[in-house]
Structure 1
Amino acid sequence: MKNVIEKFKAEKAAIELKKSEMQDRQSEGIEEAYQTGKRIAERWVRKASYQELKDAVRRPNAKHDANYFSLMYSIYFTSLEKICPKESKRFKWVHNDAFVNGWREEVNKIWESIRDDINQ
């Protein structure tokens, strides 16, 4: 009986280890997608039109911004596919949300730094 219990404990430990490794790989993939999105933001800003840039910038009202972001999500990704096809293709089916969120966060940072120059 002790052998059976030890065998089950060993199997359970092996399963837990595999789950942990899968979660680590998953979180690494999400982080990589997010960082890639942030990296390509500057290239996207240089090639994007003024209207595309204004559309990507956060709205002052959080609820309106969340609704607008969900509405425009596919349009943002299409724009990213045109300007940065290699990176977009990599994250089209996996970790797409992290990729677009990283890109948008960096676009907002860039916008904050250049807003005064553009609006003059």
Structure 2
Amino acid sequence: MRKVIKKLRDEKTIFEMKKSEMQERQSEEIEEAYRTGIRIAAKWIRGASYQELKDVIKRPNAKHDANYFSLMRSVYYTSLEKICPEESKRFKWVYNDAFLNGWREGVNNIWESIKDEVNR
């Protein structure tokens, strides 16, 4: 009986280690998608129109902002595919949310730094 219990514990330990490694790999890939999104934000802004830029900027009402962002998600992605085809193709089917959230965060950060110059 002790051998069976030991064997089951060993199998459980191996399973937990594999699960932990898988989660670690996934979190690294999600982080990479997010960083890539932030990095291409500057490239996207150079090719975007003023209206596209204003559509991406966060709205003051968080609920309205979340609804609008989810509604416009495919439009944003199409715009990204035109300007940054390689990066957007890489994250089209996997880690799409992290990629778009990073991109939007990058766009908002850039907008905050230049909005006073643009709105003059």
What TM-score bracket applies, with the shorter chain setting the length?
over 0.9
Give the whole-Å Cα distance in 2 for the aligned partners of 1:2 and 1:37: 52
Per the alignment, residue 99 of structure 1 pairs with 99
- How far off its partner does 1:119 sit? 1.0
Give the whole-Å Cα distance in 1 for the aligned partners of 2:8 and 2:91: 39
Per the alignment, residue 112 of structure 2 pairs with 112
Taking the TM superposition and a 5 Å limit, the aligned residue runs for 1:31-46 are 31-46=31-46
Per the alignment, residue 86 of structure 1 pairs with 86
SS of the equivalent of 1:92 reads coil
- How far off its partner does 1:97 sit? 0.2
* TM-score, with length taken from structure 1: 0.98
Taking the TM superposition and a 5 Å limit, the aligned residue runs for 1:1-120 are 1-120=1-120
Unaligned runs of 5+ in 1: none
* TM-score, with length taken from structure 2: 0.98
Give the whole-Å Cα distance in 2 for the aligned partners of 1:19 and 1:119: 50
Give the whole-Å Cα distance in 2 for the aligned partners of 1:4 and 1:15: 16
Give 1:18's aligned amino acid: K
String of CA shifts for 1:38-62, please: whole Å, max 9, x gaps: 0000000111111111111001111
- How far off its partner does 1:79 sit? 0.6
- How far off its partner does 1:116 sit? 1.1
Give 1:7's aligned amino acid: K
Superposed CA RMSD in Å reads: 0.6
Runs of 4+ in 1 over 6 A off after TM superposition: none
- How far off its partner does 1:114 sit? 0.8
In percent, how many aligned pairs have the same letter?
A: 73
Query: Aligned pair count?
Result: 120
Give the whole-Å Cα distance in 2 for the aligned partners of 1:107 and 1:92: 19
- How far off its partner does 1:84 sit? 0.3
SS of the equivalent of 2:104 reads helix
